[in-house]
Amino acid sequence: MSLGFLFASVFLACAVEAVEALTIVLAVGTTRGWRPTLQGVAAGLMVLAVTVALLGPALTLVPISALRLIVGGLLLVFGLQWLRKAILRASGWKDLHDEDAIYTREKQAAQQAQARRTGVVADWYAFTLAFKGVLLEGLEVAFIVLTFGANQHNIPAAIIGAAAAVLVVTAAGLAVRAPLARVPENTMKFAVGAMLTTFGIFWGAEGAGARWPGSDAALLPLLALVVVFSVAAVLVLRRARGRREDADHAGAPATPAEAN
């Protein structure tokens, strides 16, 4: 895999997670105050830094074939999960991911919660919510960085891609002080799901002993195949949804106006 492909893959995947974490942080910070919120963010980042520092060197010691088999399987789990949700959203069977709605919901919950001081933290609720948001989304970022970086023996490049994504999303969010609702997150998740699935198939097969024609060059046609299959699934599900809506409409009782 080229350095540019590695960077772009990590950047896109981490940008999605950064948008979700930023939505939570902004909702809590603007409602409960920034000091306890930023304390929670700092605590979450420290836990993530320790996790990457401990697991990063350990992964580089695993034999490449075993690493690719394990990483390929994990990426397939994550990638197919993301791709499934993206296909359902694109076909209308699942509501689109709405950062504005999430922001409003988190803000309302934060407004209703009572403040409780614990030690140096003035608002434990704000601290905990920001910590959980950063940690949970950050763990997925760490997983992406470690698996992609270790598999390509280039963890620094993966870290740079993840850091760039977090910085870009954070800067944009702080500039507008609102969730990044205009970011085509559902499209990004579709693309990331396709890429993770592609890498999962590619690395899992290599870890099992298969050899791809053209080596890393096989990634592009494999990605195209996954995308074509996913788009076809969207079209089939859209038609199925249309037939279901037509059937529901035909079976619905006529209104007084229609009866006349």
Q: What is the DSSP string of 80-140?
A: HHHHHHHHHHHHTSS----HHHHHHHHHHHHHHSPP--BTTBS-HHHHHHHHHHHHHHHHH
**Rounded mean pLDDT, 201-223:** 83
pLDDT band at 254 (very low <50, low <70, confident <90, very high): very low
CB 189 within 8 A of CB 205: no
pLDDT band at 103; cut points 50, 70, 90: low
Write down the pLDDT at residue 230.
92
Residues 6 or more apart in contact with residue 28 via CB below 8 angstroms: 37, 40, 106, 110, 126, 129, 130, 133
End-to-end CA distance of the chain: 67
Mean pLDDT of the chain: 78
Of the two residues 235 and 256, the one the predictor is more confident about is: 235
Q: Which residue reads 């791809």 in tokens?
A: 212
More confident residue, 186 or 144: 144
What is the value of pTM for the model shown?
A: 0.63
pLDDT for position 233: 92
Poorest-confidence range of 63-67, 104-108, 126-130, 252-256?
252-256
Average of per-residue pLDDT across 138-152: 80
Helices and strands: H and E segment counts in the chain: 9, 0
DSSP assignment letter at 52: H
User: What pLDDT is attached to residue 226?
Assistant: 93
**Dist CA 195 CA 118 (whole Å):** 43
